[in-house]
């Protein structure tokens, strides 16, 4: 069923998953297209962003944001187009960045909505390199990781939208950059197209040994968005006063409980203590000032324009395919920023 001007498709949380979401977790439903009232506008979704944090929003657990309610529309940032507006500053035809979620149409009062204009170049990039993932990479690396020329920076999920950007910024700042990715194709992309010094396949049976050999001077900055065995391989290689920005632990998102195997808590905490490591988690729009965001927009725009930063999207067609695509993302099956083409 394609997007229609008369029907609003919505994907809602049907039940909370235990482990990986399945066919019962999310449900496609339809409702009438809403009508904007005074000081409101109607936004039609064009592109929908899929991001790992969405798995956490399915859980009824304490977090930095409220969980999605059972029967509620799944949360997401979208690039949409204004259909009708009674809101100052927004006109029909404007592209906007908003939190409309997994649906064709949404009413907005303009809160936390960015007007992208009538004809933005590459509008979907507002969900990636010029949006939350790009900003996460920029602020997390530069404000927490504080890389210095000549240091070794290791980046998990290096072919993904955050990791790819982290590594390229680290190269701009004069660092030696080692990526970690899943599979030969992704590793080749990271080195050949993104300019990393090396990339190691985390599926290799001797992954930890390869990482050690590739980082003979140890690791000064580890940008963490995966957790699991990558973190465990990095720990013994961290240098004194290493920095570890943490924006995600996707390897553990689908676990119904604590991971099996030995308790790694003592190894993690012992390393942080002995090596005097700064490990800081952050949620991008809560952790930094507006000034940092302005720095990001300025620098990233320049880097894209001069070719210093390369960007890759993984585009999926159809709102109905978003649930399967999210599982693909959570298992590392994406190649670039995962975006759903809902109504382009």
- The pLDDT tens digits of the residues spanning 150-178 come to 999 999 999 999 999 999 999 999 999 99
How much is the pLDDT for 258?
77
CATH of the domain at 112: 3.90.180.10
193 with 87, same domain: the answer is no
107 with 219, same domain: the answer is no
Residues 74-130: tens digit of each pLDDT: 999 999 999 999 999 999 999 999 999 999 999 999 999 999 999 999 999 999 999
Average pLDDT over residues 21-43: 96
Tell me: pLDDT of 332 over 90: no
Domain assignment of residue 56, yes or no? yes
Phi-psi region of 206 (alpha: psi -120 to 50; beta: other; left: phi over 0): alpha
Residues 190 and 312 sit within 8 Å (Cβ to Cβ): no
250 vs 224: CA distance, rounded Å: 10
> Which H/E stretch holds residue 81?
strand 78-85
Local confidence band at 284 (pLDDT 50, 70, 90 cut-offs)? confident
Please state the domain count of the chain: 2
239 vs 193: CA distance, rounded Å: 28
Average pLDDT over residues 212-223: 98
For residue 105, give the DSSP letter.
Answer: E
By three-state DSSP, how is residue 277 classified?
Answer: coil
Local confidence band at 200 (pLDDT 50, 70, 90 cut-offs)? very high
Domain assignment of residue 79, yes or no? yes
Domain assignment of residue 166, yes or no? yes
335 with 228, same domain: the answer is no
* Mean pLDDT computed over every residue of the chain: 95
270 with 180, same domain: the answer is yes
How much is the pLDDT for 342?
97
Local confidence band at 253 (pLDDT 50, 70, 90 cut-offs)? confident
**Residues of the domain holding 222:** 132-285
How much is the pLDDT for 210?
98
Residues 98 and 110 sit within 8 Å (Cβ to Cβ): no
Tell me: pLDDT of 321 over 90: yes
For residue 121, give the DSSP letter.
Answer: S
16 with 92, same domain: the answer is yes
Local confidence band at 320 (pLDDT 50, 70, 90 cut-offs)? very high
300 vs 165: CA distance, rounded Å: 10
- Overall pTM > 0.95: no
How much is the pLDDT for 277?
97
Domain assignment of residue 188, yes or no? yes
Tell me: pLDDT of 1 over 80: no
Q: Would you state the structure tokens that stand for residue 299, as one six-digit string?
A: 């620098």
Tell me: pLDDT of 213 over 80: yes
204 with 233, same domain: the answer is yes
Domain assignment of residue 2, yes or no? no
- Burial of residue 222 (CB within 10 Å: 0-12, 13-18, 19+) is buried
**Per-residue burial over 3-14, b = 16 or more CB atoms within 10 Å of its CB, e = otherwise:** beeeebbbbbbb
How much is the pLDDT for 234?
97
148 with 240, same domain: the answer is yes
145 with 37, same domain: the answer is no
Tell me: pLDDT of 254 over 80: no
Nearest to 141 by CA among 330, 303, 332: 303
Domain assignment of residue 301, yes or no? no
Nearest to 196 by CA among 238, 158, 151: 158
Local confidence band at 64 (pLDDT 50, 70, 90 cut-offs)? confident
Local confidence band at 314 (pLDDT 50, 70, 90 cut-offs)? very high
How much is the pLDDT for 287?
82
Measured N-to-C along each axis, helices 132-139 and 161-172 cross at an angle, to the nearest 10 degrees, of 40
Out of 285, 300, 328, pick the residue that ends a domain: 285
Phi-psi region of 136 (alpha: psi -120 to 50; beta: other; left: phi over 0): alpha
15 with 72, same domain: the answer is yes
Average pLDDT over residues 311-330: 96
Tell me: pLDDT of 19 over 90: no
């Amino acid at each position: 069923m394609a997007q229609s001007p008369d029907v609003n498709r919505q994907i809602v949380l049907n039940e909370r998953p235990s482990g990986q979401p399945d066919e019962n977790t999310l449900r496609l439903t339809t409702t009438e297209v809403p009508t904007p009232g005074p000081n409101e506008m109607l936004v039609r979704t064009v592109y929908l962003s899929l991001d790992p944090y969405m798995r956490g929003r399915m859980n009824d657990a304490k977090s930095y944001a409220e969980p999605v309610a059972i029967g509620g529309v799944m949360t997401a940032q979208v690039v949409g187009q204004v259909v009708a507006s009674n809101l100052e500053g927004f006109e029909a035809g404007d592209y906007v960045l908003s939190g409309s979620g997994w649906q064709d149409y949404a009413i907005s009062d303009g809160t936390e909505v960015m007007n992208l204009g009538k004809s933005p170049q590459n509008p979907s990039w507002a969900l990636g390199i010029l949006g939350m993932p790009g900003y996460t990479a920029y602020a997390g690396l530069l404000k927490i990781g504080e890389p210095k020329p000549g240091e070794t920076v290791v980046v998990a999920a290096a072919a993904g939208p955050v990791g790819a950007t982290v590594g390229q910024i680290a190269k701009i700042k004069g660092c030696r950059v080692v990526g970690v990715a899943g599979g030969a194709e992704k590793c080749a992309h990271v080195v050949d197209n993104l300019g990393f010094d090396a990339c190691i396949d985390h599926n290799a049976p001797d992954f930890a040994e390869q990482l050690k050999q590739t980082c003979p001077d140890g690791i000064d900055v580890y940008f963490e968005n995966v957790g699991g065995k990558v973190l465990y391989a990095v720990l013994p290689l961290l240098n004194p006063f290493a920095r570890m920005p943490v924006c995600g632990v996707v390897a553990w998102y689908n676990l119904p409980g604590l991971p099996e195997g030995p308790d790694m808590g003592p190894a993690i905490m012992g390393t942080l203590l002995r090596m005097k490591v700064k490990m800081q988690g952050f949620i991008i729009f809560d952790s930094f000032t507006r000034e940092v965001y302005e720095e990001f927009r300025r620098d990233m725009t320049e880097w894209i324009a001069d070719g210093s930063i390369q960007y890759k999207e993984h585009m999926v067609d159809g709102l109905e395919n978003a649930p399967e695509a999210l599982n693909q993302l959570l298992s590392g099956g994406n190649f670039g920023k995962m975006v759903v083409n809902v109504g382009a």
